[in-house]
Amino acid sequence: MAESLLDPNLLFDLIARHVPADLKPNILVVGSLAAAYHHRDKLRLQGVNTKDADVVIQPAGAIQECKTIATRLLGEGWTRTEVCVPKATPDADRLEAIRLYPPGSRAYFIELLGFPAVGQTEIKNWAPVELADGWYGLPSFRYLGLTAIGRETAANGVMYATPSMMALSNLLSHPEIGTARMEGLVGGRKLLRSAKDLGRVLALARLAERVETETWAARWDAALQATFPDEFTTLAMRAGDGLRELLEDPSAMDEARHAVDVGLLAQYQVTVEQMAALADQLLVDALDPLARRYKTT
């Protein structure tokens, strides 16, 4: 995927224009575009270094809605990206995600994601979706449902996830650094997935004022109780585990730095020392207070 700098305001306006109005309640923008739009004033000189607008289909488990939306968009002139290739059967080795260019443009594309169904235990689940030309996959991430909480709405009606919930989703998705790597290159490097996502967390913390990150513990607590009523205690106490491990892993921390250096924090030229300091601050401001709410000893 070629990368270029795009204005998040412009991208949101394009999405608003290209997505039929009656479908807007069903979509939620997440990921770097949502973050860039939220902090568009701070990042106004930078743009967002992505063409990929991660769009989550609401409500949870909405396979039929996803099928309807994809079919509708294709009918209105949206086109598949080069890698969005159907498979003949739903149990094919690798189903491709549905990625669509808007009508008459290749300035960006949307990737359809699904909200996790209640009770989903897998970190990532692929649900097969059949369109007219074959089978595709609808990925849903276990903690992505958190991003619907407290979602914001742009003036043009497009909804997007808040930085605090995207941060929590990423933190919970990586309780350890692990070894899984991204499929493609990020800024010319093949990064650990955890480093990329935890780097995003630090970028979100960096862009927020500390007065704001100090409110994240309370928001996270409420979101966890609402979304995971049977396990919010455990999740609250381990939410910072991956970040703590990142602090102890210089190589992974450098990959995290690289990810934000070519992403959200490109204009700040962050160093590893700064990333570590941001991690320490986030632990003190939000993660330790969250864990302390449930620590019994």
Partner 1 sequence: MAVVPTAPVSLNVRTVSTQEPSNALDITDLSDTEIEGRNFDLSCDIRFKLRPWPTAVRSRSMLAQPPHLRFTELDGERAGFPLALASQLEGTYRVSRRNSSVDFESFDGQRVIEARSALHGSRDLDAAIVSLARVLQAQPDLKRAILVARTPRMAAARLRTEWKRTIDVLDDRIAKRLCLVALAAADHPVVLPREDDELTDLMRLASQAAAVDRGEDRNDRAQAPWSAKTFAVWEILLDAWLRREGPLSMQELAKRSRASHASVTATLHRLHQRGEIQRSSSRGAEFASTPRRSLNEMVVLADSFRVSVGFVDASGRRPDPMDLLRRIRKRAPEGAAIGGVEAARFYVPNFDLNGLPRLDVSVAGSPSLKWVREIDPALRPARQGESSSILVVHRIRTPPRFDKAADSGVPFAGPAETLLDLYDLRLTSQADEFIQSMRRAERRG
* C-beta of 88 vs 211, nearer to partner 1: 211
CB of 146 to partner 1, least distance (A): 25
**Smallest distance, partner 1 to C-beta of residue 205, A:** 9
Contact call for residue 274 and partner 1 (CB under 8 A): yes
R_g of the chain, CA atoms, integer Å: 19
Which residue shows structure tokens 């949101």?
12
Q: Using the rule CB under 8 A, is 273 a contact of partner 1?
A: yes
237 vs 69: CA distance, rounded Å = 38
Q: In angstroms, give the least distance from the CB of 270 to partner 1.
A: 6
13/6 Cα distance (integer angstroms): 12
Nearer of residues 10 and 284 to partner 1, judged by Cβ: 284
278 binds partner 1 (CB under 8 A): yes
Q: How far is the CB of 191 from partner 1 (least distance, A)?
A: 21
In sequence order, the β-bridge partners of residue 27 are: 57
- Closer to partner 1 at the Cβ: 22 or 209? 209
Give the one residue of 283, 289, 293, 294 binding partner 1; rule: CB under 8 A. Answer: 283
Q: Under the criterion CB under 8 A, does residue 292 sit at the interface with partner 1?
A: no
Our finding on whether 210 is near partner 1 (CB under 8 A) is yes
Can you spell out the DSSP letters for 86-123?
Answer: -BSSTT-S-PPB-EEEPTT--S-EEEEEEPPPTT--SS
> Using the rule CB under 8 A, is 270 a contact of partner 1?
yes
Beta strand pairing call for 52-57 and 109-114: parallel
Binder to partner 1 among 4, 153, 156, 271 (CB under 8 A)? 271
> Tokens in use for 124?
């990532």
**Contact region with partner 1 (CB under 8 A), list: 18-26, 89-97, 204-212, 223-231:** 204-212
Q: Which is nearer to partner 1, 63 or 247 (CB)?
A: 247
Site stretch for partner 1 (CB under 8 A), options 113-121, 149-157, 216-224, 277-285: 277-285
Q: Does 277 bind partner 1 (CB under 8 A)?
A: yes
CA 139, 147, 194, 142: dihedral to nearest 10 degrees? -50
- Burial degree of 33 (CB within 10 A; 0-12, 13-18, 19+): buried
3-state secondary structure of 189: strand
Q: How far apart are CA 16 and CA 2, in angstroms?
A: 23
Q: Can you tell me which of 226, 280, 292, 295 binds partner 1, judged by CB under 8 A?
A: 280
d(CA 253, CA 276): 8
Task: Find the shortest distance in angstroms from Cβ 275 to partner 1.
Answer: 9
For position 219 contacting partner 1 by CB under 8 A, the verdict is no
User: Residues touching partner 1: how many (CB under 8 A)?
Assistant: 16
247 makes contact with partner 1 (CB under 8 A)? no
The residue range among 16-24, 129-137, 175-183, 268-276 that interacts with partner 1, by the rule CB under 8 A, is 268-276
- What is the residue whose two structure tokens read 């990333």? 275
231 in contact with partner 1 (CB under 8 A): no
83-90 — which CB contacts under 8 Å span 24+ positions?
84/136, 86/131, 86/133, 86/134, 86/135, 86/136, 87/134, 87/135, 87/136, 88/134, 88/135, 89/135, 90/128, 90/130, 90/135
User: Which residue ranges make up the site for partner 1 (CB under 8 A)?
Assistant: 206, 209-211, 268, 270-271, 273-274, 276-278, 280-281, 283-284
